Amino acid sequence: MPSLETSFCGLRLPTPFVNGSGTLDALVSGTLGVSAFVTKTVTLNPREGNPPPRIAETPAGMVNSIGLANPGLDRFLEDDLPRLAELGVPIVASVGGWSPGEYATAVARIGAHPAVVAIELNVSCPNVESGCISIGTDPRETRALVERCRRETDVPVLAKLSPSVTEIEAIATAAAEGGADGLVLINTLRGIAIDRATLRPLLGGGGGGLSGPAVKPVALHAVFHAYAATGLPIVGMGGVAGGSDASEFLAAGATLVGIGTALFRDPAVVARAALELAEELERRGASGPEDLVAAAHPPTSTSSRA
Amino acid sequence: MLPQSRSLAVRAVEACGAYTLLRLRRDGADAGVPGQFFMLRAAPAPADAYLSRPISAAWADDDELAFLLDVRGPGTRALTAGGAVEVLGPLGHGFELAPGPALLVGGGIGAAILPWLVRLLPEARVLLGFRTDAHAVCAALVHPDATVVVEPELVTEPLARLLPGFEGTVYACGPDAMLGAVAALAAEHGVACQLAMEAAMACGFGACHGCAVKIDGRWKRLCVEGPVLEASRAVA
Ligand SMILES: Cc1cc2nc3c(=O)[nH]c(=O)nc-3n(C[C@H](O)[C@H](O)[C@H](O)COP(=O)(O)OP(=O)(O)OC[C@H]3O[C@@H](n4cnc5c(N)ncnc54)[C@H](O)[C@@H]3O)c2cc1C
Ligand SMILES: Cc1cc2nc3c(=O)[nH]c(=O)nc-3n(C[C@H](O)[C@H](O)[C@H](O)COP(=O)(O)O)c2cc1C
Ligand code: FES
């Protein structure tokens, strides 16, 4: 069987599979087979998150309104990160905030820890007022934020983008111009669930974010166009639940593949997807996942590949 | 750290008044302790029930794992359709059996958790409250001598009569309003009390942060801290 080993932003990883930020707590359940662990988004101050209900199942997916529940930067650095460092997988830290200064502080302090191999800037969380997503929907603010954070650390800086924008190319290009080493797409789509009985918003936070198989075509579209526009290495995610989904994301232009909602229903999904991908590579006579990257793009777009 | 997910064959699906009893072939699966829970999903799962559902075992025999279901939506409906069930668990923290007398209090489908506890605490007094007589049918599964009340009478009424002078532990499961009232009564009489609580859950193992409940005065994950909690932690 071909090896699944993959290079991403200077890292060598045993497989292309990682978790989506906020969809796995490795300190509770273990790493469930991911090749690098992505933390839940950390903010400067602790956040309890939104009042319940926080989740609602929808056709082929779910809407969540968690509200970035996290212990805050100090406790993350003191309690969580040292324990995560012992898990034996590289750590990608996801960072969020309400101002470029907040992001920069977190990036500098987290990036200094030896277990952290990359930092993901979450500029796409739909579940907090202002901050985050309002930066990630504006190309100018995105460029400025990435530029500022890029200066704060030596580890690769990735921008996690929202699909809920008019033109993903513009945001992806702005992140690239700001110096992003890679992109992560997609975060959840903005969504809302209505309580059938009261006809009021069902979730405690009001609106929410849609994830799961329902979002896969939207995610593939975002990955495809972000890749065509920037040629940056991409962590592709949105509805991945198996090896053939992963091949589609690689073909669209992703180098790593993230799994989120599918982990909730099946904690063995990462191991299964890796096996399925290896079988598919063998069938195709491919030597590794990198052979499939950007296969969906016409040869003309190769000029923009890094 | 996480138990393996298993596919267990359905041995029987039986009506039990307004509820449904789902009996799975246990096949050596770890059953845990009463009050822990499992994430259950019909296999194959229908399109409108993508996620698993948190359900507590009603009892575990050598060869059987049984669940009492209140069929409310697509997830629980699919579980009763036969075939096989994908089972992840046991998860969370169950009841901690204390020495001394025990009072078991169940409201509605909260009674589902009690038959197994009764086996471990055969001397326990059991109080059950239901919405209708059809729902009360399942009381027979819990204890032949259970005190059963049907609305408009509430299960807290017999509980209030029993608590004065009671020196032991109250174990309760039911809707939030009932648990709040049970906890208040227990506190008033200085009686230890454990509550098995519910919340919407997407994963059951700490991954989604969907199951927030006020615990120790803050929103915390019920699947990690509970679902059984010391009453003082839940009503703080
Ligand atoms: C630890 C734990 C143990 C449990 N143990 C048991 C047990 O032993 N037995 C048992 O029967 N249950 C148990 N439950 C509860 C059980 O998990 C839920 O009842 C179950 O998940 C419901 O799934 P469903 O597919 O039937 O309904 P769902 O479709 O998930 O809906 C649940 C409820 O929400 C309502 N709803 C859904 N969507 C909407 C909407 N858009 N607008 C308005 N209302 C909506 C439905 O009408 C229904 O009443 C337990 C829960 C927990 C957390
Ligand atoms: C419950 C839940 C919580 C999430 N929390 C975060 C988060 O804290 N930070 C973040 O960048 N993305 C978060 N996400 C988005 C996921 O990482 C992922 O981008 C998205 O869910 C799409 O992938 P999926 O369809 O595989 O779930 C969350 C998603 C879910 C479902
Ligand atoms: S159910 Fe997912 S964290 Fe508790």
Q: What is the pLDDT of residues B118-175, one digit of tens each?
A: 999 999 999 999 999 999 999 999 999 999 999 999 999 999 999 999 999 999 999 9
The verdict on B22 touching A (C-beta cutoff 8 Å) is no
End-to-end CA distance of chain A: 28
Nearest to B199 among A52, A60, A266 (CB): A52
Alpha-carbon Rg for chain A in angstroms: 18
CATH superfamily of the A6-49+69-190+210-291 domain: Aldolase class I (3.20.20.70)
In the block, residue with structure tokens 């359900």: B55
Residues of B with Cβ-Cβ distance to A24 under 8 angstroms: 207
Topology of the domain covering B102-196 = Rossmann fold (3.40.50)
Percent of chain A with pLDDT over 90: 91
The whole-number pLDDT of residue B207 equals 98
How far, in Å, CA of A53 to CA of B213, rounded? 9
A153: closest CA among A99, A200, A112, A98?
A112
Question: Residue A306 above 50 pLDDT?
Answer: no
Question: Residue B200 above 70 pLDDT?
Answer: yes
**pLDDT tens, position by position, B4-23:** 999 999 999 999 999 999 99
pLDDT category of residue B236 using cuts at 50, 70 and 90: low
Nearest to A55 among B49, B86, B208 (CB): B208
Q: Where in chain B is the domain with CATH 3.40.50.80?
A: 102-196
Task: Give me the residue spans of the domains in chain A.
Answer: 6-49+69-190+210-291
The verdict on B49 touching A (C-beta cutoff 8 Å) is yes
B209: closest CA among A256, A103, A205?
A205
How far, in Å, CA of A294 to CA of A306, rounded? 12
How far, in Å, CA of B92 to CA of A266, rounded? 17
Q: Where in chain B is the domain with CATH 2.40.30.10?
A: 6-91
Burial class (CB in 10 A: 0-12, 13-18, 19+), B95: buried
Closest residue (by CA) to atom 15 of ligand 2?
Answer: A187
Answer yes or no: pTM beyond 0.80.
yes
ipTM of the complex as predicted: 0.94
A162: closest CA among A127, A131, A121, A133?
A133
A93-127 core/surface letters (b: 16 or more CB in 10 A; e: else): bbbbbbebebbbbbbebbbebebbbbbbbbbbbbb
**Residue A225 alpha carbon to ligand 3 centre in Å:** 34
- Known active-site residue A125: yes
Beta partners for residue A225, in sequence order: none
Domain B6-91: assigned CATH number? 2.40.30.10
A206 min Cα distance to partner chain B (Å): 14
